[in-house]
Structure 1
Amino acid sequence: MRETYLQLMKNILLNKIYGQVEIRPVIGANPVNRLVAKAVKSAGLLLVKEIHVGPNGRDVGLDWPATAHTMIGMKRLDNVQFCIEDVIVKGVPGDVIETGVWRGGATILMRAVLKAWGVTDRKVWVADSFEGLPAPDEEKYPADRGDRFHTFEQLKVSLEQVQANFRSYDLLDDQVKFLKGWFSETLPHAPIERLAVMRLDGDMYESTMDALVSLYPKLSVGGYVIIDDYEAVPACKQAVHDYRAKHGIEDEIITIDPQSSYWRRSA
């Protein structure tokens, strides 16, 4: 029953239950789309388009879904489940965290895994600005030069909405803790004693480095680091390599899907 529950959770989080066609708002970098969408919105309407998601699209997180609670795809959700179950079985101490949660789907699954295994002594930390991504500090972090993630309105999901999403699965409880704010301000002082799994989904060099600097020293040996954008965003990959080089980390980086990777801390 445990595996049936968790597989159903993943299918629902990805909105795979209701088929592969979605109606979603017209958004993006195209200035014409933005102007038309704004004009339509002023009339109390919403400009939408029909999207056909390929049979494998949700498996590897190739689209930004209109209603699903996560965009990371089945393979990455499977990886979240694997990492948490492994640290439970092996007794690796610590909580679990995701930095950059969007609608909360991956952290909802984290809480579901703990519930399915009857774990009551670990917390799920949900860290996000809940206001989208920061504008790049190009002087301090040249790797982020030209980054436009901060302009994407669809990446802005409020704390209240994420909490409501947890509540819809009956998973909002005292084991779920929220850290609201920019990572540089919240993570250094977060009341986290020890971590067993840390999942980083901040896209940018700055966000990735902030999370590694503050959280990796708290990661238990045998714990896992998951980098969502390792192959998708060059600046993110550079931050990972810079941090690993500085601290002499040589643990094998394992591919999850075409965008994401992880490693297990050995020392």
Structure 2
Amino acid sequence: MSDQSTDKAADSNADAPVAAPAPNLSELPTGGVPLFAMPPVRAPEGFPPGFEYLASEIHTGPGPALRLMPQGYAFPASAIHPFDPVVLANRAYLTRGYFDEHIVQGFIDRVYGHTLVTYDGLAELSNQVRFCEMEGIEGDYVELGAYKGGCIGIMAMSNLHYGKKPRMIHAFDSFEGLPQPVAQDIDANFNAMFKLTDEQKQGKLETINAVAAGEQYLLELMRKIEYPADKLRIHKGWFQDTVPVAAQEIEKIAVLRLDGDLYESYVVPLAHLYDKVVPGGFIIIDDWIFKGCRDAVTEFFAQRGGMPYLHRVDITVRVIRKPF
């Protein structure tokens, strides 16, 4: 509402209640009007001790008492991308019930520009590392498909915050982008997302120039985090070449994060690294939305007597806890 229109309304009826001014629509990615205000939140009297109260400090800390949301806006039910402009504009309301969520959100802020992983995928990863540190689950932290290092950074920060000492972290990536897919990868969803030619679907270990980033982004992030350089191993190259070699040196894995998108990028690490995951450790599957990922995981466990329970994080992330 402009000052001119407000003045006209006041002149027409001086005794009428004055409506709250509308927000500057240019500052809201989708436009909108005030929907509700989030008052300071306190735990009810007699709240059970030891139970995490879900209202995080972002709702009660310093800052304006009232916040605005676009009219009718709700966080997506399928997947929340933490750096989407609309999500960022409404982050004050984003509370999903994770342990220490305000701390986790600080970790997520620090990997801005270094990841394509969903909010729940990142928050769940941090909580899994925290759990391993608090419960003494041994092993390295491993990611296949490190991209610009966002998830590596989340694991590093969570390890430093909750752990007694830095653990070895392994980052696998070609740092050239994805290789060509094989027949098991191809369906309508894959074709719509990648839009490849027939020549790019031959399964060759040649980049299709998708999800490509050099290792300097990962190294820069880890320097900012101040993670010990001798506790980071970068395995550069195609998984078919690097994973069998690295499997000889990795003894135990606490968290195995798989984010290779493609069928072969799941077949190879599962074959060589799954048995390295300690009982009680975690296997994270980031690409359940892709047919190639689903086929590779399903086939692997079918050969081992059946699929374990898959914990659903969001539309694309699944988690397995290694049975004891």
Question: Above 0.5 in TM-score?
Answer: yes
Q: Classify 1:195/1:131 alpha carbon distance in 2 versus 1 (closer, same or farther; 3 Å).
A: same
In the alignment, structure 1 residue 10 sits paired with structure 2 residue 104? no
1:39-188 matches, within 5 Å, as 68-120=113-165, 122-138=167-183, 153=209, 155-171=211-227, 173-188=229-244
The CA deviation at 1:249 is: 4.4
1:233 is aligned to 290
The CA deviation at 1:124 is: 1.1
In the alignment, structure 1 residue 257 sits paired with structure 2 residue 302? no
* 1:193–1:218 Cα contact (<8 Å) kept: yes
Query: The residue matched to 1:153 in structure 2 has which SS?
Result: coil
More strand per residue? 1
Pair member with larger Rg: 2
In 2, the alpha carbon distance for the partners of 1:153 and 1:71 equals: 16
* 1:197–1:224 Cα contact (<8 Å) kept: yes
RMSD value, Cα: 2.8
Q: Classify 1:154/1:172 alpha carbon distance in 2 versus 1 (closer, same or farther; 3 Å).
A: farther
* 2:143–2:259 Cα contact (<8 Å) kept: yes
In 2, the alpha carbon distance for the partners of 1:164 and 1:176 equals: 12
Q: C-alpha offsets along residues 90-122 of structure 1, whole Å, 9 cap, x if unaligned?
A: 222111111001111001110111110233252
**In the comparison of the two structures, how many residue pairs are matched?**
210
* 1:224 maps to which of 271, 282, 286: 282
Q: Which amino acid aligns with 1:222?
A: G
Q: TM-score, normalising length from structure 1?
A: 0.71
* 1:163–1:172 Cα contact (<8 Å) kept: no
* 1:212 maps to which of 270, 280, 293: 270
Query: The residue matched to 2:167 in structure 1 has which SS?
Result: coil
* 1:196–1:219 Cα contact (<8 Å) kept: yes
* 2:299 maps to which of 235, 242, 254: 242
The CA deviation at 1:151 is: 6.1
Q: Could you say which structure has the greater relative contact order, defined with CA pairs below 8 angstroms and 6 or more residues apart?
A: 1
Unmatched 5+ residue regions in structure 1? 14-66
* 1:111–1:176 Cα contact (<8 Å) kept: no
In 1, the alpha carbon distance for the partners of 2:229 and 2:214 equals: 18
* 1:124–1:177 Cα contact (<8 Å) kept: yes
In 2, the alpha carbon distance for the partners of 1:95 and 1:261 equals: 20
Q: Which amino acid aligns with 2:216?
A: E
Q: TM-score, normalising length from structure 2?
A: 0.59
Unmatched 5+ residue regions in structure 2? 1-99, 188-199
